[in-house]
Homo-oligomer: A and B are copies of this chain.
Amino acid sequence: MRIGLLRETAPRERRVALIPATVQRLVQQKHEVLVERDAGTAAFFPDQLYRDAGASIVDSAAAAMAGADLVVKVQPPDAGQVGAMKQGAVLVSLLAPHASGPLLDALAQAGVSALALELVPRTTKAQSMDILSSQATVAGYQAVLTGASRMGRLLPMLTTAAGTITPGKAFVIGAGVAGLQAIATAKRLGAVVSAFDVRPVVKEQVMSLGASFVEAEAKAEGAGGYAKELSDDQQARVLEAIGKHIKDMDLVITTAAIPGKPAPRLVTRAMVESMRPGSVIVDVAAETGGNCELTKAGEDVVHAAVTILGPRNLASSLPRDASFMFSKNVQALLEHAIKDGALQVNVEDAILGPMAVTHAGAVRYGRN
In the complex the two chains form, is B188's CB within 8 Å of A329's CB?
no
Most buried by B among A141, A142, A149, A325: A149
A 134-191 contacts with B by CB, 8 A: 134, 137-138, 141-142, 145-146, 148-149, 151-154, 156, 158, 160-163, 165, 185, 188-190
In the complex the two chains form, is A134's CB within 8 Å of B153's CB?
no
A 66-93 contacts with B by CB, 8 A: none
Q: State A45–B326 Cα separation when bound (angstroms).
A: 43
Contact of A318 among B128, B152, B276 (CB under 8 A): B152
A317 at the interface (CB under 8 A from B): yes
Cβ-closest chain B residue relative to A177: B160
A240-269 vs B, Cβ < 8 Å mask (1 yes, 0 no): 000000000000000000000000000000
Contact of A152 among B46, B145, B320 (CB under 8 A): B320
Residues of chain B within 8 A of A133, CB atoms compared: 160-162
A361 at the interface (CB under 8 A from B): no
In the complex the two chains form, is B161's CB within 8 Å of A128's CB?
yes
In the complex the two chains form, is A46's CB within 8 Å of B329's CB?
no
Q: State A321–B148 Cα separation when bound (angstroms).
A: 12
Question: For chain A, which range describes its interface: under 10, 10 to 19, 20 to 34, or 35 or more residues?
Answer: 35 or more
Cβ-closest chain B residue relative to A278: B44
In the complex the two chains form, is A153's CB within 8 Å of B278's CB?
no
In the complex the two chains form, is B162's CB within 8 Å of A329's CB?
yes
| A160: min CB distance to chain B, Å | 6
Cβ-closest chain B residue relative to A124: B161
A36 at the interface (CB under 8 A from B): no
Cβ-closest chain B residue relative to A168: B321
Residues of chain B within 8 A of A326, CB atoms compared: 162
State whether A152 and B189 are in contact (beta carbons under 8 Å apart), knowing that A161-B134, A163-B324, A328-B162 are contacts in the complex. Answer: no
A130 at the interface (CB under 8 A from B): yes
A 265-280 contacts with B by CB, 8 A: 276-278
A187-230 vs B, Cβ < 8 Å mask (1 yes, 0 no): 01110000000000000000000000000000000000000000
In the complex the two chains form, is A162's CB within 8 Å of B325's CB?
yes
A305-331 vs B, Cβ < 8 Å mask (1 yes, 0 no): 100000000000111110011101100
8 new A-B contacts, CB < 8 A, other than A149-B317, A151-B318, A151-B320, are A127-B161, A137-B158, A154-B318, A162-B324, A162-B325, A188-B188, A188-B190, A278-B319
Supply 6 A–B pairs (Cβ within 8 Å), ascending by A: A128-B161, A134-B160, A134-B162, A162-B324, A185-B189, A278-B320
